Structure 1
C-alpha cells in the first residue's frame, strides 16, 4: 500500500521543490506562554519547547542578516466577544484573553526593535490582519514559518501564505505540536502541496547566503 501511495504522490508531482527568493521574512506564529505552562489547557510539551528554542536562535540569525522578523499573537477581549465561532468552539482560547499571563510571549523569544507584531483572532496569521499587505509592501517574496501548533495555526498560515503568492517554507524543527502524529502528518501534507521543509541550520545558511 505504501508503495502505491508513493507512486500516486509522485505521479501528481507532490513535494516538488520551489525556487527560494532573495527577500525572505521570518514569521513566528503564536509562541504564547499558554503552550509552555504545564498547568495551562493548551500545554504543548516537548515538541513545542523544541520549536521555541530553535525559533529563538533563528530569530537572531534573521535579524543579523537583515531579514524581517514578524511575530503573530492571538489576543481577545476578556470573555472573547471578538473571538466568534472559533472562541466558542475551543474554550481553551480563553488563555489568550488580554491581560492574562498565558497570552504573553514565551521566553527566550522577545520582540526587538524593528520587529513587527500582528494580532489575530483566528488560526491564520493572514486572516483579518495586515500581514499580507505588510509583507508585500516590504517586497518580501519568501516566507519562513515557525510556530505552534503545526496542525493548527502553522498549517492555516502556511496555506494562506502560498495563497497570497509567497514562496512558503516551513522550518520543521521550528514548529511543534502536542503530539508527534499530527505534527508529522501535517508537515508531510504541507510539504506535498504548499511549502518546502527545511531545518533551523538550513534556514540560517539561507540567510547568510543572502549577503553574498
Structure 2
C-alpha cells in the first residue's frame, strides 16, 4: 500500500464504457436543497443547471428520461429505518413545498416520475424493470446528493446490469469533500464518472435513443 491516493487506486483504472441504448435518471432534484430555510439546503444551483443541459441533450437524442421524487406519508411510516435515522427527511412529506421538483425542473409528459422512499432510485421502485423492458442497457446519472442518493443509485444501477455513467458537474452535495470523495470512489468501482462536456458529446451521437 502506498500513501499516494492515485497510485493506491491505480488497480481500479478501467472504464466500463457507454452502452447503445441509454436512459437519463435525474435523482431527487427537489426544492428542499434550494430553500435556505430547509435543513437540507445545499445551494447546488450549478448541479441543476448542468443536469438541465444534459436533459435537453438527452431529449433531443430521443433518450428516455426518468425523474425520482422522494414522497412520504405524514407519519413517515413508509420511510422505515431511513426516516428514523435521517431526520431532515421530513422535508419530503407529501404536500410540502420542499418536496416539489426544484424550480426550473418541470417534468415533461413523456418523462417517467419514480416515487421513492429510500436512497436508491432502484430500491423498491419499478425503475429497473421499466428500463429493462424498454431495452435500455446503460444509465446516465445526475442528481442530489452525490454522497447519498446518487451513490446508492449508482451502486444499484451497476448491480442491475446497467453500464452506469455519472455526470460530475450534474451532481451536487452539501460540501465539496463528500462530493469529490464519492465521485472518486464511484469512478473507481461502480461507474464511469465523466464531465458534462463528455456526456454531451456522447449524446450528440445518439439518435432515436440509440448510440451510433
Per the normalisation by structure 1, the TM-score is: 0.94
Equivalent position of 2:50 in the other structure:
54
Equivalent position of 2:185 in the other structure:
189
1:1-212 equivalences in 2 (<5 Å): 1-3=2-4, 5-10=5-10, 13-45=11-43, 48-211=44-207, 212=212
Q: Can you list the C-alpha shifts for 1:186-208, whole angstroms capped at 9, x where unaligned? A: 00000000000112221111111
How many residues were matched structurally? 207
Task: Tell me, in whole angstroms, the C-alpha distance in 2 between the residues paired with 1:125 and 1:156.
Answer: 8
Kept in 2, the 8 Å contact 1:34–1:43? The answer is yes
* CA deviation after TM superposition for structure 1 residue 2, in Å: 3.7
SS in 1 for 2:155: helix
* CA deviation after TM superposition for structure 1 residue 6, in Å: 3.3
Task: Tell me, in whole angstroms, the C-alpha distance in 2 between the residues paired with 1:90 and 1:139.
Answer: 35
After superposition, the CA RMSD in angstroms is 1.1
Kept in 2, the 8 Å contact 1:15–1:193? The answer is no
Per the normalisation by structure 2, the TM-score is: 0.94
Gaps of 5+ in 1: none
Task: Tell me, in whole angstroms, the C-alpha distance in 2 between the residues paired with 1:20 and 1:170.
Answer: 11
Question: Comparing 100-109 with 194-203, which one deviates more in the overlay?
Answer: 194-203
Question: Comparing 78-87 with 67-76, which one deviates more in the overlay?
Answer: 78-87
Gaps of 5+ in 2: none
Kept in 1, the 8 Å contact 2:17–2:192? The answer is no
SS in 1 for 2:181: helix
* CA deviation after TM superposition for structure 1 residue 15, in Å: 3.1
* CA deviation after TM superposition for structure 1 residue 171, in Å: 0.2
Task: Tell me, in whole angstroms, the C-alpha distance in 2 between the residues paired with 1:157 and 1:134.
Answer: 15
